[in-house]
Amino acid sequence: MEGYRRAVDGSSSSSLGTAGNADPAAPIAPPLAERNNENVVVVGASRAQDYVARATALLDRSPAHMVILTAKGRFINKLVSVAEILKRDATKKEQKSALVQENRIFREDAVDRWDPVASGLDSIQVTRSLPCMSIHLRRPQSQSQQ
């Protein structure tokens, strides 16, 4: 937008945890219910194999044998790919369906604020509703107790 610059000083807010979403590839905060869980992998602009490696490590070392994958917007496709790779790899190791999957689809509002560069212009605030998805993968109870 000509004559404006995006506010990145923390004065703009977003329920997703980024300052005005200045960088669409910046990591996002998971939904409020999942923020205290260390088994969360937020999928963004990195390579899918990095997320697969991190999620596999979390599944192996977690006492609950559970991992939560979360993404928003254009990264949802990568999120689904990562989940499918994890399920395929677990199935190869176990020779049966080794992971139980639960999907959650929701929307979160992101607020962008634009400050005027030239004098005489008003600040602009835009609220966007972003699609989000969370995939919970866990081992069935009988496998996690072994």
Cα 69 to Cα 8, 36, 73: the distances in Å are: 27, 14, 14
Residues 91, 83: contact at Cβ < 8 Å? Answer: no
The count of other CB atoms within 10 Å of the CB of residue 95 is 7
Class of residue 106 by CB neighbours under 10 A (exposed 0-12, middle 13-18, buried 19+)? exposed
Residue identified by tokens 């609950």 is 64
pTM check: above 0.85: no
How far is residue 106's CA from residue 28's CA, in Å, rounded to a whole number? Answer: 14
pLDDT at 33 over 70: no
pLDDT tens profile 55-103: 988 888 877 788 999 999 999 999 999 999 999 988 887 766 688 999 9
The better pLDDT of the pair 144, 39 is held by 39
Asked if residue 111 has pLDDT above 70, the reply is yes
Percentage of the chain exceeding pLDDT 70 = 73
